[in-house]
Structure 1
Amino acid sequence: MRLDDEQMSDNVEKRSGGGARTGIIGGGIGAVIIFVIALFLKQDPQTVMQAVQQVQGNGGGEGTSEQLTKDNSSAIEQFSAKVLHSTEDVWSDQFAKMGMTYYKPKMVLFTDATVSGCGGAESAMGPFYCPADKKVYLDVSFFNELEQRFRVQGDFAKAYVIAHEVGHHVQNLLGISNKLHSLRGRVSETEYNKYSVMLELQADFFAGLWANHADKMKKILESGDIESGLNAASAVGDDKLQQASTGRIVPDAFTHGTSAQRMSWFKKGYETGDIHQGDTGIGLGTAANAN
């Protein structure tokens, strides 16, 4: 990726020294986050839930917090901030075309653990978006996991992860996420998981859409970048993660979609660059009414 000329986003918060043991992750959004990110990391969701429960209630908090700058950041943190800035440019433009204002999310870079509006955030949970406080949470050590465990190489694979989480923010702003959350308790778990898959595939589509427009704006893509993104999407398909972690595939427990589905929707977003092509079955919220 060519990001040398890209600015760092002003909306990146760096935290250190936080215990993050006070948030209660149980039902609702917290349970969904635990489940989907446990699958993302090829870990048993129940194991992750138990680990979080063991450390909750032990005190702690956010620790020290400061805005990320070139002077207090590592190369990978600066890279993450540049990717976020690129998503801000693209989505501000896309929302303007729909006659809307894009409210930029914050991205919190932390180490080991912190507190989010959705409860405690642990590194083991992986990157996630919290709709309660409209922030993306990321321990950049996850990128080592991406390379070492998932065997996914390249800067664009890392950018895809951030763009996917920002895609959830877009869904939140458009009212799409609320549609999913309103179904909790009203439909069976199997049915709810199907809608969860639709939401995740749409975030993959939005990540592809970002790549399309970011490249048109500033020519950020290099040879092999899209393949890197497709490899990342493939590596975190539910079928591959379940097969690797349990030795079997249970479609009714899917929450993110198969490798083929994730690759397909990311590719569709990249090739079309058209937000109106991104209805994976859950709708497009406010975007559906835009000209």
Structure 2
Amino acid sequence: MRRGPAMALAGLLLVLSAGCTPSAAPAVVLSTAPGPTPVASRPARVAPTARSTYQSPGDFYLLHNEIYSAGQVPAVPCKLPKIPLQTQKEVQQYANAVLGCLERAWKPVVERADVVYSSTVVYVVDQGWKTGCGIFGKDDEGFYCADAGIYLDWDQFTEESPDDRVWAGVYLQFTMAHEFGHHVQQLTGISSYFDDRWSEASGAARLEQMRRHELQASCFASAFLGANQQTLDLYGERLEAYRDAAYAGDDDAPTVQPDHGSRKSSTAWAQAAFKAKSPSACNTWSVPAERVT
């Protein structure tokens, strides 16, 4: 499907919204392919320190997580296949290559945050596929499932013609980087404590917690892409394609509930992270509500 900017922005919001909210059902590993080693549901509870005497352990891990002081994401060797994105096999091949780049870049950062790194996998599937987090529905384009992996609807990442190739490739890169951002959140305990906040909130307060979580995943994505701008050749038309994807907001698709962040907020977090090349620019939990609209 050819994606002009307007269609692409709406499509990206669907990709980022599907499967990123907490689920009451436990994840199960697919029997059709080996899944990653399950990660702990959350870090061990810690005794309060002088800095955190007024905070719950959950707030401590959200506001003062060691990932924020783990340093820049490194530039890594990242050779993506020069192939058309027209078939499920080609999208899977390209997504696997992007995942390899993400893992090489994030592994040392996660380990510097004093966390044991665990890898993940990507499944490029059809609608109706049984995933570790339920059935891949007709409205799903992609999501991250803890303990199982990243799922993508392959048909949403194909090109209609060679003119689409730049957009399709960069769109897939950013979507993978965002979903991998959720993997980083899972590894470092952020997702577990977000689950607690989400469960305790309702209405507008719940949507705000979701925006903090999703904006952070996109921010982590931009930190990786900024660090690897040269490796991924994000200049000229490719840089513009990245910006189209990264700056998209809930207000670009009025039918989408405001759970991922406005164009203004998405742009601000993406620009900061792309420049910093570091998760230090991505503490969405410590800022006022007006920065996560």
Determine if contact 1:198/1:282 at 8 Å carries over to the other structure: no
2:246 pairs with 233, 238, 253, which one? 233
Which string of whole-angstrom CA distances, capped at 9 and with x for unpartnered residues, describes residues 14-58 of structure 1?
A: xxxxxxxxxxxxxxxxxxxxxxx999339xx9xxxxxxxxxxxxx
CA offset at residue 113 of structure 1?
Answer: 2.2
For residue 135 of structure 1, what is the amino acid of its counterpart? G
CA offset at residue 275 of structure 1?
Answer: 1.3
The runs of 5 or more residues in structure 1 that have no matched partner are 1-36, 46-61, 247-252, 284-291
Supply the RMSD in Å over aligned alpha carbons: 3.4
Tell me the distance in 2 between the aligned counterparts of 1:126 and 1:73.
14
- The aligned length equals 212
Mapping of residues 147-226 of structure 1, within 5 Å: 153-215=167-229, 218=231, 220-226=233-239
For residue 267 of structure 1, what is the amino acid of its counterpart? Q
Mapping of residues 240-251 of structure 1, within 5 Å: 240-242=252-254, 245=255
TM-score by length of 1: 0.63
CA offset at residue 158 of structure 1?
Answer: 1.7
Relative distance call for 1:142 and 1:282 in structure 2 (3 A) is farther
3-state DSSP of counterpart to 1:85: helix
Which string of whole-angstrom CA distances, capped at 9 and with x for unpartnered residues, describes residues 197-235 of structure 1?
A: 01111011100111123346x454343333212201334
Relative distance call for 1:185 and 1:81 in structure 2 (3 A) is closer
The runs of 5 or more residues in structure 2 that have no matched partner are 1-9, 19-29, 36-80, 82-86, 288-293
Q: Which residue is 2:67 aligned to?
A: none
Q: Which residue is 2:90 aligned to?
A: 75
Tell me the distance in 1 between the aligned counterparts of 2:264 and 2:155.
27
Tell me the distance in 1 between the aligned counterparts of 2:250 and 2:91.
27
TM-score by length of 2: 0.63
Mapping of residues 18-37 of structure 1, within 5 Å: none
Segments ≥4 residues shifted beyond 4 Å:
62-67, 144-147
3-state DSSP of counterpart to 1:162: helix
Determine if contact 2:167/2:238 at 8 Å carries over to the other structure: no
Mapping of residues 80-119 of structure 1, within 5 Å: 80-119=95-134
For residue 179 of structure 1, what is the amino acid of its counterpart? Y
